[in-house]
Amino acid sequence: MYTFIIFIHVISAVLSIGPFFVLFPLLNRMKGKSDEILDTALEVFQAAIRLVKHAGHVLVGSGILLVWQGNWPWTTSWVIMTILVMVSSIVFLAKAFKPNIRAFRAGTIDLDTLIKKLRSAVWKYILLLLIMLWFMVAKPNLW
């Protein structure tokens, strides 16, 4: 059963980070497009974010099961650091994408600004996920 949970955890980790790499070409193609094509691109962008969010739920659930089944204490440094980075990534995910898309649709930011903000946010989120991945794989003993 533990091996199956690891499999689910790895698949959900891939689904939590993979869609972001598809967003870079999408952001490049958004420049100078008609409103109809731009709306479609933004819908695809938001669908990718939803996929990441739901995969993250599975990732957290399977991670809890792995810590429990693997007899890791919750006070282990890498577990605590993973949780801290995860909470940071959840807050970041909530603030980085949807508010910028809303601001663009409301007309308070232009397309170039939106693309720059979204590209920067994607890179920052990938970095957060990679830090979290490092804690889970390396399992450093920090204290």
Instruction: Tell me what pLDDT residue 7 has.
Output: 96
Average pLDDT for consecutive 10-residue bins of the chain (143 residues)? 95 92 90 85 92 93 94 93 94 91 92 94 94 94 90
Q: Buried (b) or exposed (e) across 122-136, using 16+ Cβ within 10 A?
A: beebeebbebbeebb
pLDDT value for 76: 94
- pLDDT at position 37: 86
Would you say the C-alpha torsion 131, 132, 136, 140 has a positive or negative sign?
positive
d(CA 15, CA 8): 10
Q: Give the pLDDT score at 129.
A: 92
pLDDT of residue 62: 96
Q: How far is CA 9 from CA 32, 48, 87, 134, in A?
A: 39, 19, 18, 14
**Residue 34, pLDDT score:** 81
